[in-house]
Amino acid sequence: MAPLSLYGVANTLVSTLLLHLAAVLPAPLSTLASNSGLITALSVLLFGAILLGASLLNTILLIWFERKMLGRFMDRRGAMHVGYAGLLQNFADGLKLFRKHTFKPRDADGLGFFSAPTAYMVTSIVMFGILPISTGWNSGSLPLSLLLALVVFSFAPLFIFLGAWSSANKYSLIGGMRSAAQMIAYEVPILLAVVAVILLSGSFDLSTIVAEQRNYWFWGPLFLALLVFVAGMLAEMERIPFDLPEAEAELVEGWNTEYGGMLFAFFMLADYARALVGSYLIVLLFLGGWTMPGWVPAPLTNFPLAGILWFQVKTYLVFGVFIWVRASLPRVRTDQLLRVGWMRMIPLALLSIVLAALVVLAKCLPVFGCVPSVGG
């Protein structure tokens, strides 16, 4: 039996359905229904819908997780009333925001104002299609999926700045400027840290990178790169201590000051989608993805969907660290943040590349008896 894959499931569902349809429909339609192109198209659509729905649900669960964790850190309970332990609170909040009037400030530029949240949302959600969360649970093997993911991930400052500028609000503008400066400054160390991973795994394909971690997870040899990557991700996600673009103490709500109702919900959801994606990336690149080390007993790792489960457990642990940081650290200042970004993180990232190269060289030593793998 072929390994379970989401596309396979969707394909089976669609072809079975169309097969039954073809049997009952009249002649011209039945040939159309058995057309393999149509089957593929519908399968892809179904696949995308399932992936999107599951990912958004997961994002909402992540928000719930943060609210509960943060509550505990603050000696309170977090959301409690809607659903069991407040599980449905976010749906209630979303519904409330959905019912709000969508408005545009008088001086705001309509095109930019409305397209920015949408574009931000789209670029954040597309990431779920690129990142594999288990074998067979992505859109197929992309040889350059890591690069694609990073490219899509780095679109965000553009749209944030677009939304901020078109809001015609000074706070938004300052927040947007900060956001753009911060994201660009931290893009560089993130990319350099990723280079170390690429060196060690010899591949741009996330599935291959995970597969390369079957013997040891990369956080061990690439600890420095992990540190740089996590700090960079904190800045990219705009979370405390690096949430200056929306520092509510001085900038009200930063670049999304003027957004309300559903547009704000878009930004909010996309923010958490990015947080989830960032955690995914950390798990994929450094924490072995969906694989588990050999000492974990087999019954825990070989049941169906075990990969997804372990992947999510790791993701939530990583995000838990982010929540912990948020609950216990003050916010830094823009100039300090940029100074740390350009003057500390980049040298550290470069050093981590050197370390990764040394590890690759060490693998070539005859003692280890293995041959370096070049290319994917």
Partner 1 sequence: MSEMWINMGPQHPMTHGLWNLRVKIDGEIVLDVDPEMGYLHRGIEKISEDRHYNEIITLMDRTCYVAGIAWEHLFILAAEQALHVEPPERALWIRMLSEEFQRVASHLMWYAAFVQDIGLMSPFLYGMRDRDLVLDLFQSYTGGRLTYEYMRVGGVRNDLPPGFAEQARKVCDWLLDRFVEYDRLCSGSDIFHRRCDDLGVVKAQDCIRLGITGPMLRSAGVPRDLRKDRPYAAYDRVDFDVATAETADVTGRYVVRMEELRQSVRIIRQALDWLDKNPGPVMADNVPRWMGAPYAPVGREGYLLKREYPKGVGFSAIEEPHGEALAYVVNEGGEHPYRVKLKSPVFVNLSAARHYLVGYRVADIPPIMGSVDICVGEVDR
Would you say 130 or 174 has its CB closer to partner 1?
174
Q: Which is nearer to partner 1, 150 or 168 (CB)?
A: 168
Q: How far is the CB of 349 from partner 1 (least distance, A)?
A: 21
Burial of residue 334, with CB atoms counted within 10 A of its CB: 0-12 exposed, 13-18 middle, 19 or more buried: middle
330 binding partner 1? (CB under 8 A): yes
Segment interacting with partner 1 (CB under 8 A) among 32-40, 42-50, 210-218, 323-331: 323-331
Specify the residue, 104 or 331, whose C-beta has the smaller distance to partner 1: 331
Measured distance CA(59)–CA(277) in Å, rounded:
9
Contact 103, 97 (CB under 8 A): no
Per CB under 8 A, contacts with partner 1 among 69-88 are 70, 73-76
Whether the Cβ atoms of residue 257 and residue 105 lie closer than 8 Å to each other: no
Q: Taking CB under 8 A as the rule, does residue 195 contact partner 1? A: no
In angstroms, give the least distance from the CB of 241 to partner 1.
Answer: 6
Distances (CA, A) of 305 to 4, 44, 141, 271, 302: 8, 21, 19, 27, 8
- Number of Cα atoms under 13 Å in the Cβ half of residue 153: 31
Place of tokens 């332990």: 85
Per CB under 8 A, does 344 bind partner 1? no
Number of residues located near partner 1, criterion CB under 8 A = 31
Find where tokens 């005859």 sit. Answer: 366
Among the listed ranges 98-106, 220-228, 247-255, 347-355, the one in contact with partner 1 (CB under 8 A) is 247-255
Sorted by sequence, the CB contacts under 8 Å of residue 87 that are 6+ apart come out as 64
By CB under 8 A, name the binding residues for partner 1: 70, 73-76, 170-171, 173-174, 177, 240-241, 243-244, 247-252, 326-336
